[in-house]
Chains A and B, each alone.
Chain A
Amino acid sequence: DAGVTQSPTHLIKTRGQQVTLRCSPISGHKSVSWYQQVLGQGPQFIFQYYEKEERGRGNFPDRFSARQFPNYSSELNVNALLLGDSALYLCASSLVASSYNSPLHFGNGTRLTVT
């Protein structure tokens, strides 16, 4: 089975632009979470979606939004890009909503550079 797939792998945008990142979870996984990893830091939680509903939101501005589709794939949108949004954006899927007994499986990420 394929793992979590993310596209694109790399992206360069200019300040003020908008970006959409895509994620396909492992087959059968219904939960998708998004994380931002700034260079030299640990990943920081942005959103979780389960069965197309938002289940959690981290401390990120409203410029960040996401959605989950009927096939459980997900998109992360960031508007009005800032230089500080440059990071590796990680998508993680899990079988169920809670990671107690279903660990997160991460994709390889999308490297976003804002110039």
Chain B
Amino acid sequence: AQSVAQPEDQVNVAEGNPLTVKCTYSVSGNPYLFWYVQYPNRGLQFLLKYITGDNLVKGSYGFEAEFNKSQTSFHLKKPSALVSDSALYFCAVRDMGTGANNLFFGTGTRLTVIP
């Protein structure tokens, strides 16, 4: 079975500093990994995905993620945090068992960027 873990419920970072939101995964077969962001009272917005290829994936709003097969991790990063990046971030993995669009989401990490 597929699963993802987000070990940190909350991450605080000062504006202008680099940020990292951690995600580890467990899959049988090739991993298909995603990051989504959720702002208050809104749905989820797609940030980036890893299917295959380069281990460093670039996405929307200056975010990138590093795929590490040996550590089974897919951490989200940004070189310089903005206050507007404050939101709830979800890591997700494709669940191959129950449907093409079945993404198994982690429990989320709340990012707060402090001015």
Residues of A whose CB lies within 8 Å of any CB of B are: 4, 31, 33, 40-45, 47-48, 50, 55-59, 90, 92, 94, 97-101, 103-109
**Contact of A103 with B34 in the complex, beta carbons under 8 Å:** yes
Decide: A43 near B105, CB < 8 A? Known: A100-B32, A105-B46, A108-B41: yes
Contact with A along B73-107 (1 / 0, CB 8 A): 00000000000000000101011001111111111
Partner of A4 from the list B43, B92, B102, B106 (CB cut-off 8 Å) is B43
Q: In the complex, A58→B41 CA distance in Å?
A: 24
State how many residues of chain B have any CB contact under 8 Å with chain A.
Answer: 26
User: B27 to chain A: closest CB distance in Å?
Assistant: 14
A-B pairs with beta carbons under 8 Å apart, 7 shown: A42-B105, A45-B104, A99-B34, A104-B101, A106-B36, A108-B42, A109-B43
Query: Which A residues touch B101, using CB under 8 A?
Result: 31, 33, 45, 48, 55-56, 92, 94, 97-99, 104
Partner of A104 from the list B103, B106, B107 (CB cut-off 8 Å) is B103
Query: Which B residues touch A33, using CB under 8 A?
Result: 99, 101-102
**Contact of B90 with A48 in the complex, beta carbons under 8 Å:** no
**Contact of B98 with A99 in the complex, beta carbons under 8 Å:** no
Q: In the complex, A49→B100 CA distance in Å?
A: 10
Q: In the complex, A45→B99 CA distance in Å?
A: 9
Query: Which A residues touch B92, using CB under 8 A?
Result: 42
Query: Which A residues touch B41, using CB under 8 A?
Result: 108
Q: In the complex, A43→B106 CA distance in Å?
A: 8
Query: Which B residues touch A57, using CB under 8 A?
Result: 98-99
Q: In the complex, A59→B97 CA distance in Å?
A: 11
Query: Which A residues touch B72, using CB under 8 A?
Result: none
Which residue of A is nearest B43, CB measured? Answer: A106
**Contact of B43 with A44 in the complex, beta carbons under 8 Å:** no
Which residue of B is nearest A42, CB measured? Answer: B105
Query: Which A residues touch B46, using CB under 8 A?
Result: 103-105
Q: Is B14 an interface residue (CB 8 A)?
A: no
Which residue of B is nearest A6, CB measured? Answer: B43
User: B42 to chain A: closest CB distance in Å?
Assistant: 5
Give the one of A99, A104, A105 with max B CB within 10 A.
Answer: A99
